[in-house]
Amino acid sequence: MPLALGLALRNSTIIAITGVTSMQYVNRTKKGDGMPYELKDRLVVGVASSAMFDLSESDKVFRNEGEEAYRTYQEEHRNEPLRPGMAFSFIRRLLSLNDLSPAPNAPLVEVVLLSRNDPDTGLRVMNSIAHHNLSISRAIFQQGLSPYAYVPALNISLFLSGNQSDVLEAIALGLPAGYVMDSKKIDDPNDTTLRIAFDFDGVLADDSSETVMQHGNLAQFHNHETANVMEPHGGGPLKQFLLKISTIQKAEELKRKSDSTYKNRLRVSIVTARNAPSHERAINTLKSWGVIVNDAFFLGGIEKRLILEVLKPHIFFDDQSLHLAAASQAAPSVHIPFGITNQPKTSPSETEESETTNQ
């Protein structure tokens, strides 16, 4: 697309989610098989170009020289592939699990690119996707806007972005979003597995128990969890993502039963600051969701980085920046800015002043 045409499209939104040309659609409709492509039964991940690729050079041009220089830079480098970013290895490995699908036209995993670029400057991102041989054909380009509003429409159970503001806004709307931090990369080309690690409270579960902890102390937290041991937690931002991952684990089990040589590639771990006796409610909650994880680390205050350095997950999700500061040195890390631990801290004097004002 010429740059002039791109400039004419600067305020436009392009959504390309069909994966077929209009002529293909017409021909299919004539044959009676032109049903819409359904996403509800698949694991759908939305990923921003800022999480997928290293955009540091082009971002520097934008910040230092402005939009027009950025557009020129992207046009001049449109056929120069972008280097992999923090979420690249996770996305590539996730897509590789589509070979478990019983039909080639019914993948278990769909990845949709969600980009703040306009369609013209976004061409470099799409060219990079093709260069890296990633099976991503669906994209949303919204010049200067975050497309997270389309997360529910596309049944996306995880939205990853390197734009912290976008993630905060998405979480505030109740969407399953995560901020991809600058972290240690893990991508051994000889390793075909996918290891995913989650914190529990504020990520998979809601923050009701964490609220007890923040308003009380450790003893009160353990007493609360013991009293409610058989009561499943409410779901947190990534519950649905975990449930979809679980369906792929079940597909692997079916594959292993039919092929004795097959070795499972997907491994799911819980890495949490919980310890006994509060561990039992977490386990019972996962069972009530129909989920069985491969590993659970109940650390009781031990630094998570020590475990992650051995576990080497391709992605780790946590809601607490304090934990992630160290964890990001060991593994690709994603901040889920959800719940009480991410609320602005209010000092006692501020609380008293607010109460006086409200009376």
Q: Is 121 exposed, middle or buried (0-12, 13-18, 19+ CB in 10 A)?
A: buried
Tokens 């592939």 belong to residue: 81
Catalytic residue (one of 118, 120, 166, 199): 199
pLDDT of amino acid 34 = 63
Q: What is the pLDDT of residue 352?
A: 42
Between 25-34, 114-123, 244-253, the lowest mean confidence (pLDDT) is in 25-34
Q: Is it true that 9-16+36-180 and 194-339 share their CATH fold?
A: yes
Structural domain boundaries in the chain: 9-16+36-180, 194-339
CATH number for the domain formed by residue range(s) 194-339: 3.40.50.1000
pLDDT score of 354 more than 50: no
Mean pLDDT for all residues in the chain: 87
- The Cα–Cα gap between 256 and 116 comes to 41
* Structural contact between residues 171 and 206, judged by C-beta atoms closer than 8 angstroms: no
Catalytic site includes residue 199: yes
Rounded mean pLDDT, 186-203: 95
Q: What angle do CA 179, 185, 186 make, to 5 degrees?
A: 120
CA–CA distance from 67 to each of 2, 9, 64, 315 (Å)? 17, 14, 9, 32
- Cβ(330)–Cβ(309) under 8 Å? yes
What's residue 359's pLDDT? 28
pLDDT at 12 over 60: no
**Residues of the chain with pLDDT > 70: what percent?**
86
Average pLDDT of the segment spanning 171-199: 95
Per-residue pLDDT at 33? 56
Smallest CA-to-CA distance from 42 within 117, 118, 103 is with 103
Is pLDDT at 325 greater than 90 in this prediction? yes
Non-local CB neighbours of 346 within 8 Å, separated by 6+ positions: 354
What does the pLDDT look like over 56-93, one tens digit per residue?
999 899 899 988 898 899 999 999 999 999 999 999 99
The confidence score (pLDDT) of residue 3 equals: 34
pTM of the model: 0.87
| CATH class, range 9-16+36-180 | alpha beta
Confidence tier at 346 by pLDDT (50, 70, 90):
low
Task: Pick 273 or 145 by higher pLDDT.
Answer: 273
- What is the pLDDT, as a whole number, of residue 104? 74
Phi-psi region of 123 (alpha: psi -120 to 50; beta: other; left: phi over 0): alpha
- Per the CB < 8 A criterion, the answer to whether 149 and 156 are in contact is no
Stretch 253-280: mean pLDDT: 95
Report the share of the chain in percent with pLDDT over 90.
Answer: 73
